[in-house]
Amino acid sequence: MRSASGETLERCYAALLDGAGLSGDGHAAASYNWLMTRDWMLVVPRGSEFCGPVTVNSLGYAGTFFVRSEEEIEFVTTMGPLRVLAGMGVPWT
């Protein structure tokens, strides 16, 4: 795989923000999570940082939840990880 230049990555990132309705004057205007691998880049707009007592960062969208208490473990177990992520999301329009 050929490596992308910094300028190419920046253009792709800006296009993702714009496509998600998050772009402003070069900075994101709302809350979102960002993930990137060698093969793809993803921006996930979010309506809230929390779902119940749980806060989720970008790693949650990669399948990893970090919880700080038994209450949070129980919440994620009961709701299920996808419902937790959906609870933080922005309605699809």
**Which long-range CB contacts under 8 A does 36-44 form with residues at least 24 apart?**
38/1, 39/1, 41/9, 41/12, 41/13, 41/16, 42/16, 43/13, 43/16, 43/17, 43/19, 44/89
- Where in the sequence is the domain holding 75, given as residue range(s)? 46-93
pLDDT beyond 90 at 89: no
Let me know whether 26 and 51 are in one domain: no
Please check whether residues 33 and 51 belong to one and the same domain: no
Calculated CA dihedral for residues 43, 32, 63, 4, nearest 10 degrees: 30
Strand partners for 43: 34
Task: Note the pLDDT tens digit of each residue in 20-69.
Answer: 888 765 454 578 999 998 889 999 998 888 999 999 988 898 889 999 99
Tokens representing residue 7 in the block? 């300028």
Statement to judge: residues 53 and 73 lie in one domain = yes
Confidence grade of residue 4 (pLDDT, cut at 50, 70, 90): confident
What are the residues whose beta carbons fall under 8 Å from the beta carbon of 69, sequence distance 6 or more? 53
pTM to 2 decimal places: 0.76
**Pair (60, 89) in one structural domain:** yes
Beta-sheet pairing, 50-51 with 54-55 = antiparallel
Domain count, the chain: 2
